[in-house]
Amino acid sequence: MSQGNMRLGTLLVIVALIGVGAWLVLRDDGDSSDSSVAASIATEDTLRTRAAEDGAPIYWAGPQAGTELELSVPEDGRTYIRYLTGGAEPGDPRPDFLTVGTYEFAEPVPALEELSESGGGVQRSVPGGGIAYFNREAPESVYLAYPGIEVQIEVYDPDPERAKNLVTSGQIVPVS
């Protein structure tokens, strides 16, 4: 196997692990003994404070009408913001909500560029000089990265068009 194929395989495994990690974090297993994992309702101020404490950006889709923000931080370097609707409680196991994950990730732009060259991969330019990637077989998750920023952002929405539109319109921004 060539080095390029091995690297592509490694990148695909990383993306798959991120997705599995998100599912494990966002499902409710009834164990809330670790406060770093527990999902809780948050405000914009809570998000700002968390980003300042971490010294790293946390990305979100800004305020969304009719939603409540849920924050979960399963481990250092990973932050999830879900936009709960319909009276959903923190930790709701359903994958029915817009979710923005921010992951510490070295050199995320080249990683997404390489993934986009794989079968089914699609790359788009985004405002601010970033790139977005999604796979046609799993378009509900759109990945985003910017040069010089060591995080990868995942935008999940059960409506793939909404996920793509949020990313390509520049609405996914750091909490400020």
CA dist., res. 10 & res. 23, Å (int): 20
pLDDT tens track for 118-160: 889 999 999 999 999 999 999 999 999 999 999 999 999 999 9
pLDDT band at 13 (very low <50, low <70, confident <90, very high): very low
Task: Report residue 106: phi and psi, to 5°.
Answer: -75, 130
Proportion of the chain above pLDDT 70, given as a percent: 79
Q: CA–CA separation, 33 vs 120, rounded Å? A: 40
Are 26 and 32 in contact by the 8 Å Cβ rule? The answer is no
Q: Mean of the per-residue pLDDT values for the chain?
A: 84
Mean pLDDT to the nearest integer, 37-51: 92
134 vs 166: CA distance, rounded Å: 13
- Which of the two residues, 98 and 56, has the higher pLDDT score? 98
Count of Cβ atoms closer than 10 Å to residue 103 Cβ:
20
